[in-house]
Amino acid sequence: MNTNLLLQNLRNVPDFPKPGIQFKDVSTLFKQPECLQEISDELFRLYKDKGITKVVGIESRGFVMGAIIAARLGAGFVMCRKPGKLPAVTRQATYLKEYGTDTIEIHEDAIGSDDVVLLHDDLLATGGSMQAAYELVKQFNPKGIYANFIIELCMEGLDGRHALSPELEMTTLLTLHE
Ligand code: AMP
């Protein structure tokens, strides 16, 4: 994988959405055809032999590459959304955030026990949202669950990797230390 190409095209926005946060803006990756292709090729290489039948994208930046890689793998795509967005019957998981709680939902008929699921999000920070998505998808009792991020943020006070269940096999394309 051409790591430099991705690093050169990823925009850092300081103090967004609040002071002190270094926001990693994947929109500058998505708008470059070469970067989109590079990420898609790398994800395909990583997951083509895993028997993935459903990709679950986490709202909202996880929808972009999630849907692209689902199509390349010949898998289906499932949206994991914030409450009240999905129209039919859902299953939910609630998890602790820095302040208060958050809830995510998946349609009740989106995943079956024959599925092998790849969870995808753009970025791993505290790991809270991915761990909640993992717990939620586990309720569907699929045959296997994998997880992928484009970016893993490794900063003081952030230990997202260790917030995830150890049995969840996960990959990241870029690891950032600042
Ligand atoms: P977490 O649940 O803490 O791992 O947060 C991951 C989610 O929050 C992902 O969906 C990211 O899109 C978003 N996120 C958290 N921190 C950042 C950051 N510094 N830059 C960009 N996105 C972030």
| Residues having CB within 6 Å of any atom of ligand 1 | 21-24, 58, 61, 121-129, 153, 160
For residue 98, indicate whether it is catalytic.
Answer: yes
Exactly one of 38, 42, 61, 152 is catalytic; which is it? 61
SS3 label, residue 65: helix
Side chain identity at 50, as an amino acid letter? K
Exactly one of 98, 156, 167, 178 is catalytic; which is it? 98
Q: pLDDT per position in the chain (178 positions), as tens?
A: 999 999 999 999 999 999 989 999 999 999 999 999 999 999 999 999 999 999 999 999 999 999 999 999 999 999 999 999 999 999 999 998 877 899 999 999 999 999 999 999 999 999 999 999 999 999 999 999 999 999 999 988 888 999 999 999 999 999 999 7
Model-level pTM greater than 0.95?
A: yes
For residue 105, indicate whether it is catalytic.
Answer: no
Tokens of 48: 């083509």
Tokens of 7: 């690093």
